[in-house]
Amino acid sequence: MLIVRATKKLLRLAGPSTAPDDDRGTTLLGPWYATVMFWRPRVVLLVNEATLLPVLLPMAPAATLTGRVGEQISAVLTAHGVPAAILDQERLHMRTARLGVTANRSVVGVMVDFARLAEIHHNASAVDLIALAVRLASTPCSPLYGGNISPDRELAATVQAIGT
């Protein structure tokens, strides 16, 4: 099961919290944090708690958001070259998703920074959300300074650790 820790803004639009505060889900990468960006059309920004990897996906229709999150995460992981065996395992665990409330202020802060950067880089007329997410993933993040510095490098190190 995939746990998506959503901001209050997103919970108002996508539905109530159904995941307990201590639930980490069953995915290899752990919980994801999410907020809504009020672009036209609206976009959801997700950030992985462990790697700080960003993912962007369309908000509409909000009723199917939890059903679509896993597909977009898989697409971004594929763009980062995650091996098929790990992708298949993540897809299996992401078939069901539950919304919860945010619990890690550091990840929320990184998510705010990514939202600002995405605002600068996006072109409202023709935005490729996967390409923008991959671009954001190369951004240095202060919680990662002691190790791999950027989410794309942290993902690569995590995938290598899982694969061994």
User: 70-105 in b/e burial notation, b at 16+ Cβ within 10 A?
Assistant: bebbbebbeebebeeebbeebeebbeebbbbebeee
- Residues 6-23 pLDDT 10s: 999 999 999 887 877 777
64-to-75, 96, 125, 133 alpha-carbon distances in Å: 17, 11, 24, 21
- Residues 54-80 pLDDT 10s: 999 999 998 899 999 999 999 999 999
CA–CA distance, 107 with 19 (Å, rounded to integer): 18
> Looking at the 3D structure of the chain, how many domains does it have?
1
CA–CA distance, 89 with 141 (Å, rounded to integer): 27
Q: Which helix or strand (DSSP H or E) is residue 67 part of? A: helix 65-79
- Residues 111-132 pLDDT 10s: 999 999 999 887 655 689 999 9
Domain containing residue 105: 2-163
Query: In sequence order, what are the beta bridge partners of 48?
Result: 32
Q: What is the pLDDT of residue 164?
A: 60
The residue to which tokens 């059309």 are assigned = 41
Total Cβ atoms within 10 A of residue 16: 9
In this structure, what CATH number is given to the domain that contains residue 142? 3.30.420
